[in-house]
Structure 1
């Protein structure tokens, strides 16, 4: 697990107050919203998406497109979010 992935998981847990989840419980490639065929994923909803988007913006200084499908792609998993943040930040 990369340092960026760990930091993203911490932001997810803290911003959404997920008390029963640790960073180790979050699978990097699993869906952040909904669940995959293996039952992996956080199953977050649209309200969580708004809160998480604001927290990610505040923590990492990235902005997201207003095009729903494009933003949805970036929030597909912790891995996808880490790739987007890495591409759109300096350092």
Structure 2
């Protein structure tokens, strides 16, 4: 799972042009939005597109659980691994 965590962290850095961050700067369990990494709704859309492109998994913005999937790198990894089986 750590490999997937790092892939997601790199995807966040690349998709959102966060060149000043490294994988080690992003805490796996920290919130991606608000007080954590500080992402916003536009970032969520960009990240959703990047996930679709890389993992071929669509996270529907209308899904009531979408906010939970994007809560942290760990949550995203759990969701992606559950969808790719």
Same fold (TM over 0.5): yes
Aligned to 1:80: 75
Q: Report the 3-state secondary structure (helix = DSSP H, G, I; strand = E; otherwise coil) of the residue aligned with 2:46.
A: helix
**Count of matched residue pairs:** 85
Cα distance in 1 between the residues matched to 2:53 and 2:13: 15
Cα distance, 1:66–1:18 mapped onto 2, change above 3 Å: closer
TM-score (norm 2): 0.92
Runs of 4+ deviating beyond 2 Å: 65-69
For the pair 1:60 / 2:51, whether they are aligned, the reply is no
Aligned-pair CA distance for 1:16: 0.4
Q: TM-score, normalised by structure 1?
A: 0.87
- Greater C-alpha Rg: 1
Distance 1:17 1:64 in 2: 21
Could you list the per-position Cα deviations for residues 37-89 of structure 1 after superposition, in whole angstroms to 9, with x for gaps in the alignment? Answer: xxxx2100111111111001111111123435311110000000000000001
Q: Give ranges in structure 2 of 5+ residues lacking alignment.
A: none
